[in-house]
């Protein structure tokens, strides 16, 4: 019988100095936590890290989740580029569609301008440029794969030649294949390799990393579903099963990134619950991507602010992700998000330095 136990890291601290045995490091990154919220059979309790060994000795799943939560996420070696997951990084969103909810239409018919925009985001600090040729907004029309390839391949080719690291944002195997053939390094699939029956085969054959995003019913599109009983637990369990299936199909676990799918088939309350519980997803043992930039929930919480007036909310959600140990932020506003990360890193470094100095006295 499958255990219903889940662990969410809580009680984060600025530094582990002087707290031996009392805190654990989150996913090999720059966050430490002092307790778990243990969720089991709909009940919640707090177990301090100092007392967790007793629970782990009694419950194999608790021990396994703890190992996943605290294990180092190995870097991705992508040709002459390396993506490290020991601190947060930014993936810049580059849409070449006529109908993206945020910025579609501006770059669709000008591959050179689109590539220049991607290079500019890279120069501003994006570690990765995520190129998409099909809108995933609600009720967006399905794009024929041939048209999607025509949109993205010329842009990806130019970006790769410039030395920019690229992921292809698509759910179609033919588009994945074409993008990888011209140098894309990562597949980012909103359907978690469900939409197209050939997509898993393409990823396995390429040996490339893949982002698996949650949506309620990927075969029908990214915005279906009938609601949730407990959205945090249900999304975790879905991703846990999907990661296991993709690994069984031949994709190395260390090449899988997970995304809880903020805004995809989820209500405002669902999205808020996922964001508040983000640290739970470290139990999957994979790096986490968070895509909350300019999402509708920001407008819903700020007097229906239009898409181009959601920078403040986007930064707030990015910082929520950083504090929960998210390794990759998928954003439109690269420079502003990178600046927020650098300020956070400065605060973190100062806390660590002052703690070591005090401990040395």
Confidence at residue 1, expressed as pLDDT on a 0 to 100 scale: 37
Q: What does the pLDDT look like over 270-303, one tens digit per residue?
A: 999 999 999 999 999 999 999 999 999 999 999 9
Of the two residues 345 and 225, the one the predictor is more confident about is 345
Confidence at residue 24, expressed as pLDDT on a 0 to 100 scale: 98
Name the catalytic one among 61, 330, 345, 358: 330
Q: What does the pLDDT look like over 223-234, one tens digit per residue?
A: 666 789 999 999
Tokens of 172: 């179609």
State mean pLDDT over 346-359: 84
Name the catalytic one among 2, 295, 342, 345: 295
Percent of the chain surpassing pLDDT 90:
86
Percent of the chain surpassing pLDDT 70:
94
Active site residue 330: yes
Q: What's the pLDDT band for 355 if we cut at 50, 70, 90?
A: confident
Q: Which CATH number fits domain 76-346: 3.20.20.20, 3.40.50.300, 1.10.10.10, 3.40.718.10?
A: 3.20.20.20
Domain ranges of the chain: 6-70, 76-346
Active site residue 151: no
pLDDT for residue 358 is more than 90: no
Q: Which of 71-80, 82-91, 351-360 has the lowest mean pLDDT?
A: 351-360
pLDDT for residue 220 is more than 90: no
Buried/exposed code over 228-240 (b: 16+ C-beta within 10 A; e: otherwise): beebbbbbbebbb
Q: What does the pLDDT look like over 141-193, one tens digit per residue?
A: 888 999 999 999 999 999 999 999 999 999 999 999 999 999 999 999 999 99
How far apart, in whole angstroms, are the C-alpha atoms of residue 248 and residue 202?
15
Confidence at residue 244, expressed as pLDDT on a 0 to 100 scale: 98
Q: What is the 3-state secondary structure (H, E, C) of the chain?
A: CCCCCEEEEEEEECCCCCCCCCCEECCCCCCEEEEEEEEECCEEEEEEHHHHHHHHHHCHHHHHHHHHHHCCCCCEEECCEEECCCCCEEEEEEECCCCCCCCCCCCCCCHHHHHHHHHHHHHCCCCEEEEECCCCCCCCCCCCHHHHHHHHHHHHHHHHHCCCCEEEECCCHHHHHHHHHCCCCEEEECCCCCCCCCHHHHHHHHCCCEEEECCCCCCCCCCCCCCCCCHHHHHHHHHHHHHHHHHHHCCCHHHEEEECCCCCCCCHHHHHHHHHCHHHHHHHCCCEEECCCCCHHHHHCCCCCCHHHCHHHHHHHHHHHHHCCCCEEEECCHHHHHHHHHHHHHHHHHHHHHHHHHHHC
């Amino acid at each position: 019988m499958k255990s219903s136990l889940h662990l969410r890291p809580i009680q984060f601290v600025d530094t582990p100095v002087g707290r031996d045995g009392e805190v654990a490091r989150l996913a090999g990154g720059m966050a430490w936590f002092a307790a778990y919220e243990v969720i089991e059979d709909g009940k919640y309790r707090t177990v301090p890290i100092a007392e967790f060994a007793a629970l782990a000795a009694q419950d194999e799943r608790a021990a396994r989740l703890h190992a996943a939560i605290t294990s180092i996420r190995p870097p991705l070696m992508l040709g002459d580029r390396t993506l490290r997951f020991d601190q947060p990084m930014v993936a810049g969103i580059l849409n070449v569609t006529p109908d993206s909810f945020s910025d579609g239409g501006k770059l669709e018919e000008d591959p050179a301008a689109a590539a220049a925009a991607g290079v500019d985001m890279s120069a501003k600090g994006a570690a990765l440029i995520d190129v998409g040729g099909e809108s995933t907004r609600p009720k967006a029309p399905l794009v024929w794969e041939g048209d999607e390839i025509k949109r993205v391949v010329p842009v990806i080719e130019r970006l790769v030649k410039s030395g920019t690291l690229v992921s292809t944002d698509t759910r179609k195997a033919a588009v994945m294949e074409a993008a990888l053939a011209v140098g894309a390094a990562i597949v980012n699939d909103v359907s978690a390799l469900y939409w197209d029956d050939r997509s898993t085969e393409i990823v396995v054959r390429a040996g490339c990393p893949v982002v698996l995003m949650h949506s309620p019913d990927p075969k029908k599109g990214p915005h279906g579903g009938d609601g949730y009983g407990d959205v945090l637990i249900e999304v975790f369990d879905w991703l846990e099963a999907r990661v296991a299936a993709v690994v069984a199909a031949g994709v190395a676990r260390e090449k899988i990134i997970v995304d809880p799918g903020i805004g995809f088939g989820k209500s405002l309350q669902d999205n808020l619950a996922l964001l508040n519980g983000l640290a739970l997803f470290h139990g999957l043992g994979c790096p986490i991507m968070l895509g909350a930039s300019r999402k509708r929930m920001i407008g819903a919480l700020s007097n229906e602010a239009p898409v181009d007036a959601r920078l403040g909310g986007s930064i707030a959600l990015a910082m929520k992700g950083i504090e929960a140990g998210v390794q990759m932020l998928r954003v439109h506003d690269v420079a502003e998000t990178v600046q927020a990360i650098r300020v956070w890193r400065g605060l973190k470094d100062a806390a660590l330095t002052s703690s070591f100095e005090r401990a040395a006295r």
